[in-house]
C-alpha cells in the first residue's frame, strides 16, 4: 500500500518561477516588433479607360497651386524656385482660404468660418477663387526622392488638417485622431471638412532626367 509521504515541504517551490517568467519575457521582447500601421493616406484616381479620352478640365491658372519637384530635389512652387520646403504649409493655407471671387454658396461658407480663419482670407485676385475650386497639384520626376515627395505631401495635408481642426475648435493632432467609429467624433470630422475638399492632384511623374 502506498504510504503517504511525510510532509517535508508543503508547497511547490515557487522560487524559480520568476526566472522562468523572465526567460519568456525576454524571448518576447526580442522577437517582437510593435506594429505601427501609421502613415499618410492617399486615394489613387480610378483607372483610365483606354477608349475614353481623359476629360479635358478647364481650370483657371489661379485656382491651381503648382508644386514641381525635379530630379535634383529642387522645388518650383508657383513658378518660384526654392530648395527647401520651409513655409509651404502656410502658403497653401493662405491659398485655400483666399476667397478671391466667391459665389453665393461660398460667401455663406466664408461667413460660417471662425474669425481666426476669416482673417486669413487674402482676397487676392491672382490666387484661388474659393476653397471648392482650389487644387494643390504636385508633380514629380522619376528621379525625385520618395522622401521629399512625402515631405511635400505631408505639408499639404498639414495645411488642410489645420484648417479643418480650426473650424471645429481643435488642434490638428486632435482632429487627426478622430475616428469614424463614434457618432460624435464622426460629426466633428464631417463638420471640419464640409465644403472644403482636400483636393490634392498628384500628376504622373515625367520621364526626363535620370533615375
Partner 1 sequence: MAKFKKKTKTEENIPTSALPDIIFMLLFFFMVTTVLREQELLVSQKLPEASQLQKLEKKSLISYLFIGKPKNTGVYGTEPRIQANDALITTNDILLWVNQEKDKLSEAERDQITISLKADREVKMGPIADIQFELREADARKILYASVGKNK
The residue ranges that bind partner 1 (CB under 8 A) are 14-15, 17-18, 21-22, 24-25, 28-29, 31-48, 140-147, 149-151, 153-154, 157-158, 161, 172, 176-177, 179-181, 204-205, 211
Give me the least distance between CB of 157 and partner 1, in Å please. Answer: 4
Q: Which is nearer to partner 1, 35 or 183 (CB)?
A: 35
Query: What cell was used for 112?
Result: 460660417
For 92, phi then psi, to 5°, come to -70, -40
Q: Residues 64, 135: contact at Cβ < 8 Å? A: yes
Helix (H) or strand (E) holding 76: strand 75-77
Q: Which is nearer to partner 1, 32 or 111 (CB)?
A: 32
Torsion angle defined by CA atoms of residues 69, 38, 96 and 181, in that order, rounded to the nearest 10 degrees: 160
Helix (H) or strand (E) holding 64: strand 64-69
Q: How many CB atoms within 10 Å of residue 196?
A: 21
C-alpha 35/C-alpha 25 separation (Å) is 18
Query: What cell was used for 180?
Result: 469614424
Give me the least distance between CB of 203 and partner 1, in Å please. Answer: 10
Give me the least distance between CB of 37 and partner 1, in Å please. Answer: 5
Q: Which is nearer to partner 1, 82 or 186 (CB)?
A: 186
Q: Which is nearer to partner 1, 89 or 133 (CB)?
A: 89
Give me the least distance between CB of 49 and partner 1, in Å please. Answer: 11
Give me the least distance between CB of 156 and partner 1, in Å please. Answer: 9
Q: Which is nearer to partner 1, 48 or 111 (CB)?
A: 48
Amino acid at each position: 500500500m502506498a504510504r503517504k509521504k511525510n510532509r517535508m515541504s508543503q508547497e511547490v517551490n515557487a522560487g524559480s518561477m520568476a526566472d522562468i517568467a523572465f526567460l519568456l519575457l525576454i524571448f518576447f521582447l526580442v522577437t517582437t516588433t510593435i506594429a505601427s500601421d501609421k502613415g499618410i493616406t492617399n486615394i489613387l484616381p480610378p483607372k483610365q479607360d483606354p477608349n475614353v479620352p481623359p476629360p479635358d478640365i478647364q481650370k483657371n491658372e489661379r485656382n491651381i497651386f503648382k508644386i514641381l519637384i525635379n530630379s535634383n530635389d529642387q522645388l518650383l512652387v508657383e513658378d518660384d524656385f526654392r530648395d527647401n520646403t520651409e513655409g509651404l504649409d502656410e502658403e497653401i493655407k493662405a491659398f485655400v482660404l483666399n476667397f478671391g471671387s466667391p459665389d453665393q454658396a461660398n460667401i455663406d461658407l466664408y461667413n460660417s468660418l471662425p474669425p481666426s480663419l476669416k482673417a486669413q482670407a487674402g482676397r487676392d485676385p491672382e490666387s484661388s477663387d474659393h476653397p471648392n475650386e482650389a487644387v494643390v497639384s504636385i508633380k514629380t520626376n522619376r528621379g525625385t526622392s520618395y522622401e521629399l515627395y512625402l515631405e511635400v505631401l505631408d505639408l499639404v495635408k498639414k495645411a488642410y488638417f489645420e484648417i479643418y481642426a480650426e473650424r471645429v475648435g481643435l488642434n490638428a493632432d486632435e482632429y487627426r485622431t478622430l475616428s469614424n467609429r463614434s457618432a460624435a467624433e464622426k460629426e466633428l470630422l464631417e463638420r471640419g471638412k464640409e465644403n472644403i475638399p482636400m483636393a490634392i492632384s498628384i500628376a504622373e511623374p515625367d520621364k526626363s532626367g535620370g533615375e
